[in-house]
Amino acid sequence: MSNIYQIPTMAEKAAAGEQPEILFWVGCAGSFDDRYRAVTLAFVKILNKLNIAFAVLGEEEACTGDPARRAGNEFLFQMQAISNIQVLNGYAIKKIVTACPHCFNTLKNEYPALGGNYEVVHHSQFLQQLIDAGKIILKEGGAFKGKKITFHDSCFLGRANNVYEAPRKIIEALDMELVEMKRCRSKGLCCGAGGAQMFKEPEPGKKDINIERTEEALATGAKTIAVGCPFCLTMLSDGVKNKEKEHEVTVLDLAELLAADLEADDYTERGTP
Amino acid sequence: MSILPQLLFIAVLSVAGVVLYKRVAFLRNTILLGKDTFRSDAPAERWKTMALVAFGQQKMFKRIVPAFLHLLIYVGFIVINIEVLEFIIDGLSGTHRIFAPFLGDGYTVAMNIFEWLAVAVLVSCIAFLIRRNITHVPRLTMPELKGWPALDANLILWIEIVLMVAILSMNATDQLLAERGVDGYLQLGGLVFSSMLSPLFDGFGDQTLVAIERFAWWFHIIGILGFAVYVTYSKHLHIFLAFPNTWYSNLKPKGEMQNMPEITNEVNAMLGVTASGTEESVTEIGRFGAKEVTDLSWINILNAFSCTECGRCTAECPANMTGKKLSPRKIMMDTRDRAEELSKGISAKGESFEDGKSLLGDYITKEEINACTSCNACVEACPVNIDPLDIIMQLRRYVAMEESGAPQQWNIMFQNIETSFSPWKFATTDRFNWANDLKGKPMNE
């Protein structure tokens, strides 16, 4: 294997007659959002360093339809879903990994009714499996070791799909001190962006939801707020900026945390996996 | 002994029976105003869910203090109602404490358990009255409870208190009469709680005591029958409906929205796809989404009648806690109130009843449903597995597809997805640009 980052597309793999082990579903935020693209890159770095046979859809990927469905536009959702399923089934996709809980939920739970049946895992679950299998070796005394961190449960990962442990296992592997917010796990408070709220201004009220949640996260005293969702990342980053804490407190995706400690490792010394 | 009391008892029981039957039939018809839906798969899991969530009160224990107080009332309700069986047999046959000779000391033990529970219920009801009216627990004093809901809640607590006082007074006078050797009364040998009330009644003559004892007996049984009828008009219906409601719980992941097969067919036709995979049969193409309770499923309406307005959903709702108009509890109350209104109209004026009103618009506003983040906190919080989110999403579907009335920013988002396959307006050809920063670069740099 080369020591060059590779990001193959399904089209390229199919042309070479190869079937990669997993499809990495990047999602719209992962493709277009300036800040969140760093998460996509971090995850791709991990995949490369661990020599995992993956591919992406590249320009063939399209919105899963989640925001349209949750805003009530079932037609548009199904247009997206059925087109996507045609592409996915065309490549005989078996397993999909995605960093976006909204894509994860839709692909996993809502595509089967429309003829799309895949094994879908969230990147936190995927990374946890790699940690458990001993494939992710973190540098001793990594960048985050011993530091306080809090984890914000994404609704679409947590309550919607009962994934609570995987993100926490990653934090544990990083040897960080997890300080839970009062509202966590099944009682976790939404960041305010679900249900297509990401794409419109909130209704009139006395406070924005992301500010309420950011205050709770800041109250833990942790300097790192970990998330596993592009919308949560945006909402909490905005919240931290609103509180003028952006120079002290960072909001990071789980993949970024792991990639940082992997990068601290000298890849060449460990040799080619 | 005169058989007049027996005849009177039969009359009371019959009237209560007829009224209850009519109320139950009305409620059944009202729930069945909803669309047919199949949710009887996986019966083993359904029975288990019902046993844990309804019978076992599992989800109540997310809030420990009210859970404990509620448990006392719940156990009291179930256990004390065993005594009602004796009341009914005694009332019909003109006997007094018919089980006592059969059970011997066991009867005294049972009565003491009932009395202990009666006191526990009494204490819990008082605690609940304090929470509602003095300490003003926020979720119990929200705007949607103004008027009848608040009165209903208080009435139930007072009725329970009065019923418990009746049962204790009855036992106290009963035992005083037995001690005095009055004919027909049996000495049970030590009823702990009611004997504490004896001094209150000791000064009365036998005649008065018999009158008080009989009054308490009649008051208790009529009270219970009356309460059973009252419950059918009240949020208190949850005592029965919690069981079917949890049996019909959504067992799928909470994140999954129900598919609309009628749309799948149209989309497949539009895209020229021959339907593959799981094909669902399409019954009738009516309205897309829900505007009226009749557009919802009967399970949505069953949910609404199972709601006891505890407000745990609203207390957890991120939109509500930040001052938006949405309250999941209000969604359920509105659904129930509208279903009742429509059902009354239909029973009075026939199937074609029309009052120019609808659930969406007259009861629930767009501002409320637009504020939902679909975070499932309300669904998670509900102690009896009610799903307000399902109703909200069906209402949104109506607004978006039948009215094209979604918020402007959502319409822009729809447009972006239609034209560039992303909720943001970016060129599809730029979708893979993120890779340029990394592709082909050496890994150890």
Q: What is the pLDDT of residues A160-198, one digit of tens each?
A: 999 999 999 999 999 999 999 999 999 999 999 999 999
Residue A3's pLDDT is what? 86
Contact A159 B376 (CB under 8 A): yes
Which ranges in B232-327 belong to alpha helices (H)?
Answer: 238-247, 261-271, 298-306, 312-316, 318-321
Residue B282's pLDDT is what? 54
Q: Span B218-234, mean pLDDT?
A: 94
CA distance A55 to A51: 12
Residue A265's pLDDT is what? 47
Higher pLDDT, A264 or B72: B72
Q: How confident is the model over A194-237, as pLDDT tens digits?
A: 999 999 999 999 999 999 999 999 999 999 999 999 999 999 99
The topology under which CATH files domain B261-406 is Fumarate Reductase Iron-sulfur Protein; Chain B, domain 2 (1.10.1060)
Q: In order of start, what are the domains of chain A with their CATH numbers?
A: 10-129 (3.40.50.1860), 138-264 (3.40.50)
Contact A3 B435 (CB under 8 A): no
Average pLDDT, chain B: 94
Confidence of residue B275 (pLDDT cuts 50, 70, 90): low
Residue B284's pLDDT is what? 59
Per-residue pLDDT at B218 exceeds 60: yes
Contact B267 A75 (CB under 8 A): yes
Domain ranges in chain B are: 4-31+63-236, 261-406
- Which of B62, B253, B421 is facing A109, going by the closest CB pair? B253
Q: Where does residue A141 rank: exposed (0-12), middle (13-18), buried (19+ CB within 10 A)?
A: exposed
User: What ipTM was estimated for this complex?
Assistant: 0.95
Do A39 and A9 contact (CB within 8 A), yes or no?
no
Sheet of strand A177-178, all strands in order from the earlier edge strand to the far edge: A177-178, A148-151, A224-227, A250-253
Residue A2's pLDDT is what? 67
Compute, in degrees rounded to 10, the torsion defined by CA atoms A231, A235, A241, A245.
Answer: -90
DSSP 8-class letter at B428: G
> What is the phi-psi region of residue B47: left when phi exceeds 0, alpha when psi lies from -120 to 50, beta otherwise?
alpha
Residue B194's pLDDT is what? 92
Residues 6+ apart with CB under 8 A from B414: A68, A71, A73, A76, B400, B406
Q: How confident is the model over B159-188, as pLDDT tens digits?
A: 999 999 999 999 999 999 999 999 889 888
Residue A262's pLDDT is what? 81
B64 has a chain A CB within 8 A of its CB: no
B373 has a chain A CB within 8 A of its CB: yes
Count the helices and strands in chain A (H runs, E runs): 12, 8
A47 contacts in B (CB within 8 Å)? none
Contact B444 A78 (CB under 8 A): no
Per-residue pLDDT at B101 exceeds 60: yes
Residues 6+ apart with CB under 8 A from A19: A13, A92
Contact B322 A208 (CB under 8 A): yes
- Which of A48, A70, A74 is facing B443, going by the closest CB pair? A48
Do A223 and A248 contact (CB within 8 A), yes or no?
yes
The low-confidence residues of chain A, meaning pLDDT below 50, are 264-273
Length, in residues, of chain B: 445
Q: How confident is the model over B276-335, as pLDDT tens digits?
A: 544 555 555 679 999 999 999 999 999 999 999 999 999 999 999 999 999 999 999 999
Confidence of residue B190 (pLDDT cuts 50, 70, 90): confident
